[in-house]
Structures are given as C-alpha cells and as structure tokens.
Amino acid sequence: MSLVVEGLSKRYSKGVQALNSVSFCVNEGECIGIVGESGSGKSTLGRILLGLETYKEGRITYHGKPIAPRKRSDLRQFRKRVQMVFQDSTSTLNPKLPIWKSILEPLDNFKEITPSFIKVEGLSRKEIAQELLEIVGLEKDMVDRYPGELSGGQKQRVSIARAISIEPSLLVCDEPTASLDVTVQVQILRLLKQLQQHTNMTILFISHDIRAVSFLCEKVMVLKDGFMVDQFELSQLYDDKRHHYTKALIQAARID
C-alpha cells in the first residue's frame, strides 16, 4: 500500500467536526476519487495530506512512514514526493512571472532531481519548461506568456506541468476542474488520465462531481458530513449495495 489513512478525525477550533474517523488506502499508481457535496470535508482531507492542516486523531502513512512530517528536514523529502493541483491556479502561478518561471519553481527547489522527460543533456531552463508545456498539451511558444494571458484551462495545464515537473509519486488534486467549462473539464481529466497511465503516480482526486471521479478513478470514497459513508472500486459503482447517498449522487449526475 502506498497511502494508508486510519481513523482520521479533524475538529476545527470553532467546534466543527470536519472529519470523523476516516480510513482508506491507495496502492501505488492508483487513482482514488474523494467525492462529496460542499462541506463534507474533502478539502480538509486534502489539506491534511499535504501537511497544510494539523490533526490530532488518526494515523497517515505514505510508504510506511508518517506523512507530512513535522521536522523541516523531513518536510523537504516529503515535498519532493507529493505535489498538488488546486481549483484556483492563480494561487500557484505568480501573475508577475512568465509562466516558465512558475513551472520551474519545484525543479529549482530540488536541483538534485533530473526528471526522466529530459532526454537530452544541456537543455536551458526555458527549454525544460517547454518540454513540460508539451507534455501537458500546450504550445512551446507559450513559455514567455504571463498567467493573465492564458485561459482557465491553459492555466490549469500550466499548474499541472508545474506539479508533475519533479515527477511526484503522489499528486493531490483538489477540484482541479471545478472552475472550468464542461468541455475544458473533460480535456483536463483526459490529461490527468493520460499522465497517470504513463507514470506510476498515485492520484488523489477531490471533487464534488461523481461523473469526473468515475471517469478518472479506479477507487471511490464518498464523504458526507465528515463521515466516509461509502468506499468501492469503480466497477462496483452501480451495485445495489451502494449507500443511498452514493445512489443519490449518481442520480443527480444522471449517470445511472
């Protein structure tokens, strides 16, 4: 197992119980979808996994080691393996920098990493960013553009290029398609699927959209009011034993 979460609970200071004894595990190279309506605790879970939020109860291990360590030196190793893509790419892309500089930020932080997509030695930094743009389906000559000169879908592709630049083994995506048009959403989902098929990356895909989750993920976990009410392999999506809340989500998305 690559990622194991056991009995994770989170209570915010104002008394909100955002997560209640949530447990699940993901194998290396698998994609798990965390689905639920607004306020169900999805982002809290994602933020805890990224070490951006603390928790008191539960245990999270990644390849046998506690995730998001507290020690700074260990945190660096963690960041090397875990990257993220958020709904709002403006939080990841500095509007004052040409996109190639933002794309290269993780690689600049981890100079010891030589990603496998760099097949030729001696590429300039800008050329490396161009390689990454190509991987995510963008034109190489976009490299000098600023985030403000890109569409929402293009910005999200740039955020993905940045996240995969250091070839993380775990990618946490928190509603990466939520602010995009339906057709662009499909393109981004296809891109993530293609990336997952060509790498051994484990993806944790957080979404309120069970349709998107069922397109991308092999495993699905359903959260409601901080409780994990259902957990299943995608092939069991239409099983009669699905929780009534999962059935309601399926019906609302009209994919039954």
Ligand X SMILES: Nc1ncnc2c1ncn2[C@@H]1O[C@H](COP(=O)(O)OP(=O)(O)OP(=O)(O)O)[C@@H](O)[C@H]1O
| 176-215 positions binding ligand X, by CB under 6 A | 208
Report CA torsion sign: 90, 91, 92, 98.
positive
User: Is there binding between residue 11 and ligand X (CB under 6 A)?
Assistant: no
Choose which of 3, 8, 44, 50 interacts with ligand X (CB under 6 A): 44
Residue 16 Cβ vs ligand X, minimum distance, rounded to whole Å: 4
Does the CA dihedral 92-187-175-55 come out positive or negative?
negative
Query: According to CB under 6 A, which residues from 64 to 93 bind ligand X?
Result: none
Total site size for ligand X, rule CB under 6 A:
13
The least distance separating ligand X from the CB of residue 14, rounded to whole angstroms, comes to 5
| Cα gap 113→130, rounded to integer Å | 17
Q: Is 34 in the site for ligand X (CB under 6 A)?
A: no
- Which residue's CB is nearer to ligand X, number 131 or number 175? 175
Position among 8, 33, 35, 36 found at the interface with ligand X (CB under 6 A): 36
CB of 38 to ligand X, least distance (A): 3
Q: Is 14 in the site for ligand X (CB under 6 A)?
A: yes
Q: Which residues pair with 231 in a beta bridge?
A: 221
Chain positions contacting ligand X, by CB under 6 A: 12, 14, 16, 18, 36, 38-44, 208
